[in-house]
Protein backbone atom coordinates (compact mmCIF):
# COMPACT_ATOMS: atom_id res chain seq x y z
CA UNK A 1 0.00 0.00 0.00
CA UNK A 2 1.39 3.42 -0.95
CA UNK A 3 1.43 5.52 2.19
CA UNK A 4 1.02 8.82 0.35
CA UNK A 5 -2.31 7.57 -1.03
CA UNK A 6 -3.71 6.28 2.26
CA UNK A 7 -7.06 7.97 2.91
CA UNK A 8 -7.37 9.98 6.09
CA UNK A 9 -9.93 12.07 7.92
CA UNK A 10 -9.25 15.61 9.06
CA UNK A 11 -9.52 15.38 12.81
CA UNK A 12 -6.82 18.04 13.17
CA UNK A 13 -4.85 20.33 10.88
CA UNK A 14 -1.55 19.46 9.29
CA UNK A 15 0.73 22.01 7.57
CA UNK A 16 1.53 23.44 10.98
CA UNK A 17 3.99 26.36 10.99
CA UNK A 18 7.72 25.81 10.82
CA UNK A 19 9.19 28.84 12.57
CA UNK A 20 12.61 30.32 13.23
CA UNK A 21 13.37 30.94 16.92
CA UNK A 22 15.54 34.09 16.79
CA UNK A 23 15.69 34.91 20.50
CA UNK A 24 16.45 31.34 21.52
CA UNK A 25 19.13 31.08 18.82
CA UNK A 26 20.73 34.28 20.21
CA UNK A 27 20.46 33.07 23.79
CA UNK A 28 21.97 29.64 23.20
CA UNK A 29 24.47 30.42 20.43
CA UNK A 30 25.00 27.88 17.64
CA UNK A 31 21.89 27.34 15.58
CA UNK A 32 19.94 28.40 13.63
CA UNK A 33 17.10 26.90 15.67
CA UNK A 34 13.58 26.24 14.37
CA UNK A 35 10.38 24.86 15.79
CA UNK A 36 7.70 22.77 14.10
CA UNK A 37 4.44 23.77 15.73
CA UNK A 38 2.50 20.53 16.07
CA UNK A 39 1.08 22.05 19.23
CA UNK A 40 -1.07 23.96 16.71
CA UNK A 41 -2.86 21.04 15.05
CA UNK A 42 -6.10 22.59 16.24
CA UNK A 43 -7.94 19.59 17.58
CA UNK A 44 -9.02 20.31 21.20
CA UNK A 45 -6.08 22.68 21.79
CA UNK A 46 -3.77 20.71 19.50
CA UNK A 47 -0.87 18.32 19.84
CA UNK A 48 0.86 15.48 18.02
CA UNK A 49 -1.90 12.92 18.40
CA UNK A 50 -4.06 14.78 15.85
CA UNK A 51 -1.84 13.56 13.00
CA UNK A 52 -2.19 9.96 14.18
CA UNK A 53 -5.92 10.35 14.75
CA UNK A 54 -6.48 11.61 11.21
CA UNK A 55 -5.64 8.08 10.06
CA UNK A 56 -7.11 6.17 13.02
CA UNK A 57 -10.51 7.90 12.70
CA UNK A 58 -10.63 7.09 8.98
CA UNK A 59 -9.96 3.46 9.83
CA UNK A 60 -12.76 3.53 12.46
CA UNK A 61 -15.24 5.07 10.01
CA UNK A 62 -14.32 2.65 7.21
CA UNK A 63 -14.79 -0.33 9.52
CA UNK A 64 -18.08 0.57 11.15
CA UNK A 65 -16.89 1.47 14.65
CA UNK A 66 -19.20 3.66 16.75
CA UNK A 67 -16.93 4.40 19.71
CA UNK A 68 -13.24 5.18 20.27
CA UNK A 69 -11.71 3.90 23.48
CA UNK A 70 -8.17 4.67 24.56
CA UNK A 71 -5.85 4.41 27.54
CA UNK A 72 -3.39 6.61 29.36
CA UNK A 73 -2.40 8.33 32.56
CA UNK A 74 -4.95 10.49 34.31
CA UNK A 75 -3.64 13.59 32.47
CA UNK A 76 -3.22 11.94 29.06
CA UNK A 77 -3.05 14.39 26.15
CA UNK A 78 -3.67 11.51 23.79
CA UNK A 79 -6.92 10.78 25.63
CA UNK A 80 -8.05 14.39 25.25
CA UNK A 81 -7.41 14.38 21.51
CA UNK A 82 -8.97 10.94 21.01
CA UNK A 83 -12.13 12.09 22.81
CA UNK A 84 -12.20 15.22 20.65
CA UNK A 85 -11.72 13.26 17.42
CA UNK A 86 -14.51 10.87 18.44
CA UNK A 87 -16.91 13.74 19.09
CA UNK A 88 -16.13 15.51 15.84
CA UNK A 89 -16.90 12.36 13.86
CA UNK A 90 -20.03 11.33 15.78
CA UNK A 91 -18.33 8.51 17.69
CA UNK A 92 -18.52 7.90 21.45
CA UNK A 93 -15.43 8.90 23.49
CA UNK A 94 -14.28 6.39 26.14
CA UNK A 95 -11.20 7.05 28.28
CA UNK A 96 -9.64 4.36 30.46
CA UNK A 97 -7.25 6.13 32.81
CA UNK A 98 -4.65 4.39 34.93
CA UNK A 99 -4.79 5.77 38.47
CA UNK A 100 -7.05 6.87 41.24
CA UNK A 101 -9.84 9.38 40.63
CA UNK A 102 -8.25 12.71 41.65
CA UNK A 103 -10.00 14.80 44.28
CA UNK A 104 -9.93 17.88 42.08
CA UNK A 105 -10.59 18.31 38.40
CA UNK A 106 -7.76 20.00 36.48
CA UNK A 107 -5.71 20.11 33.27
CA UNK A 108 -6.69 17.62 30.57
CA UNK A 109 -9.23 15.93 32.79
CA UNK A 110 -11.33 19.09 32.91
CA UNK A 111 -11.32 19.20 29.11
CA UNK A 112 -12.22 15.49 28.95
CA UNK A 113 -15.22 16.15 31.18
CA UNK A 114 -16.29 19.24 29.25
CA UNK A 115 -16.38 17.07 26.10
CA UNK A 116 -18.64 14.56 27.86
CA UNK A 117 -16.21 11.63 27.63
CA UNK A 118 -17.01 8.43 29.49
CA UNK A 119 -14.15 8.14 31.94
CA UNK A 120 -13.09 4.99 33.78
CA UNK A 121 -10.35 5.16 36.40
CA UNK A 122 -8.54 1.86 36.70
CA UNK A 123 -7.19 2.11 40.22
CA UNK A 124 -4.74 -0.72 40.89
CA UNK A 125 -3.30 0.70 44.11
CA UNK A 126 -4.55 -2.35 46.05
CA UNK A 127 -2.05 -4.42 44.04
CA UNK A 128 0.90 -2.37 45.34
CA UNK A 129 1.00 -4.80 48.26
CA UNK A 130 2.08 -7.65 45.95
CA UNK A 131 5.76 -8.65 45.69
CA UNK A 132 7.57 -6.47 43.13
CA UNK A 133 8.08 -9.28 40.61
CA UNK A 134 4.32 -9.95 40.42
CA UNK A 135 3.03 -6.40 40.65
CA UNK A 136 3.26 -5.11 37.07
CA UNK A 137 1.84 -8.28 35.52
CA UNK A 138 -1.08 -8.23 37.98
CA UNK A 139 -1.77 -4.58 37.17
CA UNK A 140 -1.71 -5.29 33.42
CA UNK A 141 -4.14 -8.18 33.90
CA UNK A 142 -6.46 -5.96 35.93
CA UNK A 143 -6.37 -3.28 33.22
CA UNK A 144 -7.08 -5.85 30.49
CA UNK A 145 -10.01 -7.24 32.46
CA UNK A 146 -11.45 -3.75 33.02
CA UNK A 147 -11.08 -2.91 29.31
CA UNK A 148 -12.79 -6.14 28.28
CA UNK A 149 -15.65 -5.40 30.68
CA UNK A 150 -16.12 -1.88 29.33
CA UNK A 151 -16.11 -3.10 25.72
CA UNK A 152 -18.61 -5.84 26.56
CA UNK A 153 -20.94 -3.27 28.19
CA UNK A 154 -20.85 -1.01 25.13
CA UNK A 155 -21.27 -3.89 22.74
CA UNK A 156 -24.28 -5.16 24.69
CA UNK A 157 -25.83 -1.77 23.92
CA UNK A 158 -25.12 -2.16 20.21
CA UNK A 159 -21.87 -0.20 19.91
CA UNK A 160 -18.68 -1.28 18.15
CA UNK A 161 -15.64 -0.10 20.10
CA UNK A 162 -12.25 0.58 18.50
CA UNK A 163 -9.65 0.06 21.22
CA UNK A 164 -6.68 2.34 20.53
CA UNK A 165 -3.47 1.56 22.45
CA UNK A 166 -1.70 4.08 24.71
CA UNK A 167 -0.41 7.04 22.70
CA UNK A 168 -2.19 5.88 19.52
CA UNK A 169 0.81 3.61 18.95
CA UNK A 170 -0.36 1.81 15.81
CA UNK A 171 1.03 1.40 12.31
CA UNK A 172 -1.97 3.27 10.89
CA UNK A 173 -1.52 6.13 13.39
CA UNK A 174 2.18 6.49 12.68
CA UNK A 175 1.39 7.03 9.01
CA UNK A 176 0.49 10.57 10.13
CA UNK A 177 4.08 11.16 11.18
CA UNK A 178 5.62 9.50 8.15
CA UNK A 179 3.63 12.00 6.10
CA UNK A 180 4.81 14.92 8.27
CA UNK A 181 8.25 14.51 6.67
CA UNK A 182 7.42 15.63 3.09
CA UNK A 183 5.51 18.51 4.67
CA UNK A 184 8.60 19.61 6.64
CA UNK A 185 10.88 19.15 3.60
CA UNK A 186 8.55 21.30 1.48
CA UNK A 187 8.46 24.01 4.16
CA UNK A 188 12.26 23.96 4.43
CA UNK A 189 12.54 24.46 0.71
CA UNK A 190 9.94 27.25 0.59
CA UNK A 191 11.62 29.09 3.47
CA UNK A 192 15.22 28.28 2.48
CA UNK A 193 15.79 26.58 5.80
CA UNK A 194 18.83 24.38 6.34
CA UNK A 195 18.57 21.97 9.25
CA UNK A 196 20.53 18.82 9.91
CA UNK A 197 18.52 17.57 12.89
CA UNK A 198 14.89 17.10 13.87
CA UNK A 199 14.55 16.59 17.63
CA UNK A 200 11.38 14.95 18.97
CA UNK A 201 10.02 13.36 22.15
CA UNK A 202 10.20 9.59 22.62
CA UNK A 203 7.22 8.37 24.67
CA UNK A 204 5.06 5.53 23.43
CA UNK A 205 7.32 6.19 20.38
CA UNK A 206 4.85 6.29 17.46
CA UNK A 207 5.75 9.89 16.70
CA UNK A 208 9.49 9.24 16.68
CA UNK A 209 9.03 6.00 14.70
CA UNK A 210 6.84 7.67 12.07
CA UNK A 211 9.29 10.55 11.64
CA UNK A 212 12.27 8.20 11.51
CA UNK A 213 10.59 6.02 8.88
CA UNK A 214 9.47 9.08 6.91
CA UNK A 215 12.97 10.59 6.97
CA UNK A 216 14.39 7.33 5.63
CA UNK A 217 11.68 6.82 3.01
CA UNK A 218 11.66 10.39 1.70
CA UNK A 219 15.46 10.89 2.00
CA UNK A 220 15.16 13.84 4.38
CA UNK A 221 18.21 16.09 4.68
CA UNK A 222 18.08 15.83 8.50
CA UNK A 223 18.57 13.14 11.13
CA UNK A 224 15.74 12.40 13.57
CA UNK A 225 16.84 12.41 17.22
CA UNK A 226 14.57 11.12 19.97
CA UNK A 227 14.59 12.39 23.55
CA UNK A 228 13.01 9.99 26.06
CA UNK A 229 10.49 11.78 28.24
CA UNK A 230 11.15 9.56 31.25
CA UNK A 231 14.29 7.85 32.57
CA UNK A 232 12.77 4.40 32.12
CA UNK A 233 12.09 4.48 28.39
CA UNK A 234 11.00 1.98 25.77
CA UNK A 235 13.94 -0.13 24.52
CA UNK A 236 15.30 0.78 21.07
CA UNK A 237 14.81 -2.85 19.95
CA UNK A 238 11.02 -2.57 20.35
CA UNK A 239 10.93 0.69 18.44
CA UNK A 240 13.07 -0.74 15.64
CA UNK A 241 10.70 -3.73 15.42
CA UNK A 242 7.76 -1.32 15.18
CA UNK A 243 9.51 0.67 12.43
CA UNK A 244 10.09 -2.57 10.52
CA UNK A 245 6.40 -3.39 10.86
CA UNK A 246 5.57 0.08 9.54
CA UNK A 247 7.97 -0.32 6.62
CA UNK A 248 6.57 -3.75 5.72
CA UNK A 249 2.92 -2.63 6.02
CA UNK A 250 3.42 0.31 3.68
CA UNK A 251 5.97 -1.37 1.39
CA UNK A 252 8.57 1.23 2.22
CA UNK A 253 11.45 -1.04 1.31
CA UNK A 254 13.89 -0.59 4.18
CA UNK A 255 14.73 -2.29 7.46
CA UNK A 256 15.91 -0.75 10.67
CA UNK A 257 17.92 -2.09 13.59
CA UNK A 258 18.16 -0.76 17.14
CA UNK A 259 21.65 0.66 16.47
CA UNK A 260 20.26 2.89 13.69
CA UNK A 261 18.12 4.85 16.15
CA UNK A 262 19.63 7.99 17.61
CA UNK A 263 18.36 8.71 21.11
CA UNK A 264 19.80 11.34 23.43
CA UNK A 265 18.97 10.71 27.09
CA UNK A 266 21.32 13.14 28.87
CA UNK A 267 23.62 12.28 31.78
CA UNK A 268 22.72 9.05 33.64
CA UNK A 269 22.38 10.86 36.97
CA UNK A 270 20.33 13.77 35.58
CA UNK A 271 18.51 12.48 32.48
CA UNK A 272 16.55 14.85 30.26
CA UNK A 273 13.48 12.74 31.12
CA UNK A 274 13.65 14.05 34.70
CA UNK A 275 12.78 11.98 37.73
CA UNK A 276 9.87 9.96 36.33
CA UNK A 277 6.86 9.97 34.04
CA UNK A 278 4.86 13.16 34.58
CA UNK A 279 6.70 13.90 37.83
CA UNK A 280 7.33 17.60 38.44
CA UNK A 281 10.96 18.72 38.55
CA UNK A 282 12.46 22.21 38.77
CA UNK A 283 14.93 21.74 35.88
CA UNK A 284 12.08 21.03 33.45
CA UNK A 285 10.09 23.93 34.92
CA UNK A 286 13.04 26.29 34.31
CA UNK A 287 13.21 25.11 30.70
CA UNK A 288 9.49 25.71 30.20
CA UNK A 289 10.17 29.24 31.47
CA UNK A 290 13.13 29.67 29.06
CA UNK A 291 11.04 28.82 25.97
CA UNK A 292 8.21 31.08 27.16
CA UNK A 293 10.59 33.95 27.99
CA UNK A 294 12.47 33.80 24.67
CA UNK A 295 9.79 32.80 22.14
CA UNK A 296 6.44 33.08 23.98
CA UNK A 297 5.83 29.39 23.27
CA UNK A 298 4.59 27.07 25.99
CA UNK A 299 6.04 23.64 26.58
CA UNK A 300 4.47 21.22 29.03
CA UNK A 301 5.92 19.56 32.14
CA UNK A 302 5.34 15.94 31.06
CA UNK A 303 6.69 15.87 27.49
CA UNK A 304 7.80 18.95 25.62
CA UNK A 305 9.49 20.63 28.60
CA UNK A 306 11.77 17.61 28.89
CA UNK A 307 12.42 17.44 25.15
CA UNK A 308 13.25 21.14 25.17
CA UNK A 309 15.62 20.55 28.09
CA UNK A 310 17.45 17.97 25.98
CA UNK A 311 17.36 20.16 22.87
CA UNK A 312 18.96 23.14 24.65
CA UNK A 313 21.62 20.95 26.23
CA UNK A 314 22.55 19.43 22.86
CA UNK A 315 22.72 22.93 21.30
CA UNK A 316 24.89 24.26 24.15
CA UNK A 317 27.24 21.30 23.79
CA UNK A 318 27.62 21.94 20.06
CA UNK A 319 25.97 18.64 19.15
CA UNK A 320 23.43 20.09 16.71
CA UNK A 321 25.61 22.04 14.25
CA UNK A 322 24.18 23.32 10.97
CA UNK A 323 20.62 24.00 12.10
CA UNK A 324 18.07 22.04 14.12
CA UNK A 325 14.30 21.79 14.33
CA UNK A 326 12.50 21.13 17.59
CA UNK A 327 9.23 19.23 17.08
CA UNK A 328 6.68 20.75 19.48
CA UNK A 329 4.18 17.99 20.19
CA UNK A 330 1.77 20.00 22.37
CA UNK A 331 0.65 19.16 25.90
CA UNK A 332 0.15 22.65 27.36
CA UNK A 333 -3.01 21.71 29.37
CA UNK A 334 -0.66 19.73 31.64
CA UNK A 335 0.69 23.08 32.87
CA UNK A 336 -2.59 23.57 34.71
CA UNK A 337 -2.88 20.09 36.11
CA UNK A 338 -2.98 20.08 39.89
CA UNK A 339 0.18 17.97 40.21
CA UNK A 340 2.22 20.56 38.30
CA UNK A 341 0.52 23.75 39.43
CA UNK A 342 1.26 23.13 43.09
CA UNK A 343 5.05 22.72 42.76
CA UNK A 344 5.27 25.64 40.31
CA UNK A 345 3.99 28.00 43.01
CA UNK A 346 7.31 27.71 44.79
CA UNK A 347 9.45 28.38 41.72
CA UNK A 348 7.44 31.21 40.17
CA UNK A 349 5.25 32.64 42.93
CA UNK A 350 7.20 32.68 46.18
CA UNK A 351 8.62 35.83 47.83
CA UNK A 352 12.10 35.17 46.41
CA UNK A 353 10.80 35.12 42.84
CA UNK A 354 8.59 38.17 43.20
CA UNK A 355 10.95 40.80 41.72
CA UNK A 356 8.75 41.19 38.63
CA UNK A 357 5.47 41.09 40.47
CA UNK A 358 4.25 44.37 41.86
CA UNK A 359 1.30 45.26 44.02
CA UNK A 360 0.21 48.89 43.91
CA UNK A 361 -2.25 49.65 46.65
CA UNK A 362 -4.57 52.65 46.70
C1 LIG B 1 2.40 16.35 24.29
C2 LIG B 1 3.00 15.05 23.93
N3 LIG B 1 4.22 15.03 23.39
C4 LIG B 1 4.83 13.87 23.05
C5 LIG B 1 4.21 12.66 23.25
C6 LIG B 1 4.94 11.41 22.88
O7 LIG B 1 4.52 10.91 21.66
P8 LIG B 1 4.62 9.37 21.39
O9 LIG B 1 3.75 8.70 22.43
O10 LIG B 1 4.14 9.18 20.02
O11 LIG B 1 6.04 8.97 21.59
C12 LIG B 1 2.92 12.62 23.80
C13 LIG B 1 2.24 11.35 24.05
O14 LIG B 1 1.21 11.25 24.64
C15 LIG B 1 2.30 13.85 24.15
O16 LIG B 1 1.07 13.89 24.70
CA of 135 to the centre of ligand 1 (A): 26
Pocket of ligand 1 (CB under 6 A): 47-48, 77-78, 167, 201-208, 300, 303-304, 329-331
**pTM confidence score:** 0.96
- The model's pLDDT over 304-322, given as tens digits with 9 standing for 90+, comes to 999 999 999 999 999 999 9
CA of 74 to the centre of ligand 1 (A): 14
- The model's pLDDT over 216-260, given as tens digits with 9 standing for 90+, comes to 999 999 999 999 999 999 999 999 999 999 999 999 999 999 999
CA gap 69, 315 in Å, rounded: 39
Q: Give the residue, out of 229, 230, 307, 334, with the most ligand 1 atoms within 8 A of its beta carbon, to mutate for a pocket test.
A: 229
Nearest residue by C-alpha to atom 6 in ligand 1:
203
- The model's pLDDT over 151-162, given as tens digits with 9 standing for 90+, comes to 999 999 999 999
CA of 166 to the centre of ligand 1 (A): 10
Q: Give the residue, out of 46, 49, 311, with the most ligand 1 atoms within 8 A of its beta carbon, to mutate for a pocket test.
A: 49
Q: Which residues pair with 32 in a beta bridge?
A: none
Provide the 3-class DSSP secondary structure of residue 151.
helix
Taking residues 22-43, report their average pLDDT: 96
The whole-number pLDDT of residue 131 equals 94
Q: For the chain, what percent of residues have pLDDT higher than 70?
A: 100
Phi/psi for 11 (5° steps) reads: -75, -40
Fold of 49-168: Rossmann fold (3.40.50)
For the chain, the structural domain boundaries read 3-47+170-352, 49-168
| CB-count burial class (<10 Å; 0-12, 13-18, 19+) for 304 | buried
The whole-number pLDDT of residue 1 equals 79
Instruction: Say yes or no: do domains 3-47+170-352 and 49-168 share a fold.
Output: yes
Cα dihedral across residues 136, 137, 138, 142: positive or negative: positive
The whole-number pLDDT of residue 355 equals 80
CA gap 79, 97 in Å, rounded: 9
Q: Which residues pair with 96 in a beta bridge?
A: 71, 120
Judge whether residue 354 has pLDDT over 80. Answer: no
Judge whether residue 353 has pLDDT over 80. Answer: no
Judge whether residue 27 has pLDDT over 90. Answer: yes
Which residues lie closer than 8 Å to 180 by C-beta, 6 or more apart? 14, 36, 38, 51, 210, 211, 214
CA of 327 to the centre of ligand 1 (A): 11
Please determine, looking at this structure, whether the domain spanning 3-47+170-352 carries the CATH number 3.40.1710.10: no
Provide the 3-class DSSP secondary structure of residue 33.
strand
Asked whether 256 and 216 are in contact (CB, 8 A), the reply is yes
The whole-number pLDDT of residue 357 equals 87
The whole-number pLDDT of residue 309 equals 98
The radius of gyration computed from the CA coordinates of the chain, to the nearest angstrom, equals 21
- The model's pLDDT over 40-90, given as tens digits with 9 standing for 90+, comes to 999 999 999 999 999 999 999 999 999 999 999 999 999 999 999 999 999
Asked whether 206 and 173 are in contact (CB, 8 A), the reply is yes
Asked whether 34 and 18 are in contact (CB, 8 A), the reply is yes
CA of 310 to the centre of ligand 1 (A): 15
Which residues lie closer than 8 Å to 297 by C-beta, 6 or more apart? 35, 37, 39, 291, 328
Judge whether residue 28 has pLDDT over 90. Answer: yes
Atom of ligand 1 nearest to the CA of 330: 1
CA of 202 to the centre of ligand 1 (A): 7
- The model's pLDDT over 118-130, given as tens digits with 9 standing for 90+, comes to 999 999 999 999 9
Amino acid sequence: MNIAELKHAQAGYVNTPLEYMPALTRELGGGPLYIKRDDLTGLALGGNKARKLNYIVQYALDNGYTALMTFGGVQTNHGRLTAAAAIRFGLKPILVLKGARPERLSGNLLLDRLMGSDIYFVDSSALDALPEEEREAAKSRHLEKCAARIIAEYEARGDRVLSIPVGGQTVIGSAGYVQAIPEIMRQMEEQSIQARYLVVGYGSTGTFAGLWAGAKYYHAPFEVIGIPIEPDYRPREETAAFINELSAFFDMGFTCSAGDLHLECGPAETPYGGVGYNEPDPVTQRHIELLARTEAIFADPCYTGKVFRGFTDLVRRGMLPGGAILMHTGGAPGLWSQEHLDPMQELFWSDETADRVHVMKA
